[in-house]
Amino acid sequence: MYREVQTEEYVKELLEKGIQPIQAEKAGRIFARDGEVGEEVVTWSEDENGNPIQERVAYVELDEKTGKPGHVVTKLGDDGLPVLDRNGHTNTWIIGDSKFVERYQPDTSMGDNIYKSSAGTQIFIQIQEDIIVEQWGKKEKIAKGGYINITNPEDMYGISARDFADTYKVIPNNIQK
């Protein structure tokens, strides 16, 4: 059963339990295209047993800062093809235009509309149970084993274990609580 939590309070709870944060860098690439306002995108993940979880249903909106529509992005594997989970779902989501411009840069070595992260080292803490968090105005399920990005206390967000494994490379940890 999923427990609804407030992200900041849940992170504090994990730290108080002695859960150590880890460092990771985004190593994966994405394919991105401009979304159409109102376009529906369903984001899928899986629980620790591989069962599908519909994380969220979202709609492309105009970015408040830029006035441009958000981007529909799909995680790519090392072969440049979309990553599919064992249930056949692609790792696809929406990211607002201003966040996209802030977090990604073109990777022309892989072709058109392919991007890599420009975020650098980030800090995560592992989720210890099935939770529901509110992210970017939507409620999202994240199964036990996922992570919360705690790099920026003003912009913490969760990511499933599968998405983390597909996207990030853990680096040696020298974080002190």
**What confidence tier does 173 reach under pLDDT thresholds 50, 70, 90?**
low
Q: Side-chain half-sphere of 44: how many Cα atoms within 13 Å? A: 14
pTM of the model: 0.72
pLDDT above 60 (res 21)? yes
* Span 60-68, average pLDDT: 96
Stretch among 47-51, 56-60, 69-73, 102-106 having the lowest mean pLDDT: 47-51
* Span 100-122, average pLDDT: 90
Largest CA-CA distance found in the chain, in angstroms, rounded: 45
DSSP 119: -
- Three-point CA angle 61, 132, 60, nearest 5°: 10
Helix-then-strand count for the chain, H and E: 3, 15
Which pair of tokens denotes residue 13?
């709870």
**What confidence tier does 177 reach under pLDDT thresholds 50, 70, 90?**
very low
What pLDDT was estimated at residue 45?
Answer: 83
Stretch among 106-110, 134-138, 153-157 having the lowest mean pLDDT: 134-138
CA of residue 124 relative to chain centroid, distance: 11
